[in-house]
A and B are shown apart, each in its own frame.
Chain A
Amino acid sequence: MASKFFAVADRKSCVSCGACFRECPRDAIRIDHGCYAVMDPALCIGCGKCRRICPADCIGMEERKA
Chain B
Amino acid sequence: MKKKHWYDWLWIWTIIYFLLGFFNILFAWLGMIDFLLPLLLAVFGGNKWFCNHLCGRGQLFTVISAKIPGPHSRPAPRWLSSPWFRYGFLVFFLTMFGNIVFQTYLVYSGASTLREFVKLFWTFRVPWGWAYTSGAAPDWAAQFSFGFYSLMLTSTLIGLIVMLLYRPRTWCSFCPMGTMTQTICRLKHRGKEDAIIFH
Chain A interfacial positions (CB closer than 8 Å to B): 11-13, 15-19, 21-22, 25, 27, 31-36, 52-58
CB distance from B124 to the nearest CB of A (A): 27
- The closest CB in chain A to the CB of B59 belongs to A22
| SS of B interface (majority) | helix
**Structural contact, A31 and B194, CB atoms closer than 8 A:** no
**Structural contact, A34 and B76, CB atoms closer than 8 A:** no
**Structural contact, B172 and A17, CB atoms closer than 8 A:** yes
Q: Is residue B140 contacting chain A, with contact meaning CB distance below 8 A? A: no
Q: Count residues on chain B whose CB falls below 8 Å from chain A CBs.
A: 42
**Structural contact, B76 and A55, CB atoms closer than 8 A:** yes
| Alpha-carbon distance between A22 and B2 when the two chains are bound, in angstroms | 9
Q: Considering residues A21, A25, A54, A55, which has the most beta carbons from chain B within 10 angstroms of its beta carbon? A: A55
CB distance from B64 to the nearest CB of A (A): 14
| SS of A interface (majority) | loop
CB distance from B176 to the nearest CB of A (A): 12
**Structural contact, A18 and B197, CB atoms closer than 8 A:** no
Q: Is residue B115 contacting chain A, with contact meaning CB distance below 8 A? A: no
**Structural contact, B53 and A18, CB atoms closer than 8 A:** yes
